[in-house]
Amino acid sequence: MGTTRLPRLFLLSCAVAFLVTLTASLPVGADARQVAKIKARLTPEHLGAATTVSLGFQLPPRDGVSPAALRSMKLAYPPNLGLATSGLGLASCSPGELEALGVEGCPANSRMGSGSATVELVLKVETVTEHISLALFAAPSSDGYLHVLVYAYGVFPVYAQLLLSGVLMHGQMGITVPPIPSFPEAPDVVMTQMQLTLGGPLTYYARSAGKLVAYHPPGVGLPRRCPTGGFPFRATFVFLDGGHASARTAVPCPGGA
C-alpha cells in the first residue's frame, strides 16, 4: 500500500508542477484574442538603493490584424518598491495647463519620467505608423492616492497631443486611455507599443539660502531584499471592443541573489 501511494503522489506532484510551469510560461492572455508582451528593467539594480524603473509593453498584430484600441491598462509592480517615497513629483501639474501649454506648462519638479510609444492608423490602403513621445507628470490628488498624467505628443502623420490619466493604487498604476481620433471618417488611432521610464535624468529645483538650486532626484528606492524569482511586474489591458490581454515578467535579482 505504502509502495503504491508514494509513486502516485509523486506522479500527481509532477503533473501539477508541469501544469504550473506550462501556465507560467504562457502569456496570461493566451485565452483572449489579443496577445501582450511586457518588459521591465531596473537601472541600476542595487538592492536598497535608488533606481530607474522602465516598463514597456507590446501588443503585436494577430493574424496580420492590428489590435483594437486600448481603453485602459494596469501596470502592476512590486508593492514594496519605493515609488511613493521616490522624491519624484514634488509638485503637481494640472491637466488644463498641460493640455493648453504642453510640457512647458508644468513645473519642473512635477516631471516624473518619460517614454515613447508607437501608434498605428489602419487605413484601407495601408497602415500608417507613428512614433510619439511621452512625458510623465505628477497630477493633483484629492483622494489620497498618487495621480499621474501621461502626456503623449506626435507630429507626423497625425499632429496631436493626448493626455492619459493614471493613479497609483495597491501596487499598480492604472491608466485610462481615451479614444485617439485621427481623420474624419477614419478609424481611431491604435497604440501598439509603449515604453515608460520612472525617474532617469530629471532636474529638480529646491530653494536654498534664497536661491534656486538644481539637483537630480535619486529615483525609485529598491527594497534591500529581492523576492524569490525576482521583482515581478504584470500588465493587464482592456480594449474598446471588450477584449483583454495580460502579460507578466520579472526582473531577476542582482547577481542571482
Partner 1 sequence: MTLKLITRTIMCRTLRWKEDVIQGSLPGSSNGIGRKMSQTASGSASIVAVALVGSTLLLAAAAGADTRRPVRSAPSAHAAGVLNVHDEGHLRFIHASGSVIIDEGSVSGTLPGSVRVRFLYDGEPQVSAQFTINGRGGSISAHATGRLSSLTSPSPSFSGHMTITGGSGRYAHVRGSGTLFGVYYRRSYGLTVQAIGKLPY
Residues at the site binding partner 1, with contacts judged by CB under 8 A: 48, 78-85, 87, 89-92, 109-110, 138-141, 143-146, 168-171, 206, 217, 221-225
Question: Shortest Cβ distance from residue 249 to partner 1 (Å)?
Answer: 19
What cell numbers appear for 30 in the block?
Answer: 493566451
Nearer to partner 1, 47 or 240 (CB): 47
Nearer to partner 1, 90 or 122 (CB): 90
Q: How far is the CB of 78 from partner 1 (least distance, A)?
A: 8
Strands 160-169 and 172-176: antiparallel
Residue nearer to partner 1 on the CB measure, 29 or 89:
89
Cβ of residue 92: shortest distance to partner 1, in angstroms?
A: 4
d(C-alpha 138, C-alpha 4), whole Å: 62
Question: Which lies closer to partner 1 via its Cβ, residue 170 or residue 211?
Answer: 170
**How many Å apart are CA 106 and CA 223, to the nearest integer?**
31
User: Which residue, 231 or 237, has its beta carbon nearer to partner 1?
Assistant: 231
Give residue 100's Cα distance to chain centre. 25
Q: CA-to-CA distance for 18 and 10, rounded, in angstroms? A: 12
What minimum distance in Å lies between the beta carbon of 80 and partner 1? 4
Taking the complex as a whole, how short is the minimal distance between the CB of residue 222 and partner 1, in angstroms?
Answer: 6
Cβ neighbors of 53 (< 8 A, separation 6 or more) are 40, 41, 42, 77, 81, 83, 197, 198, 199, 219, 220
Are 102 and 161 in contact, with CB atoms under 8 Å apart? yes
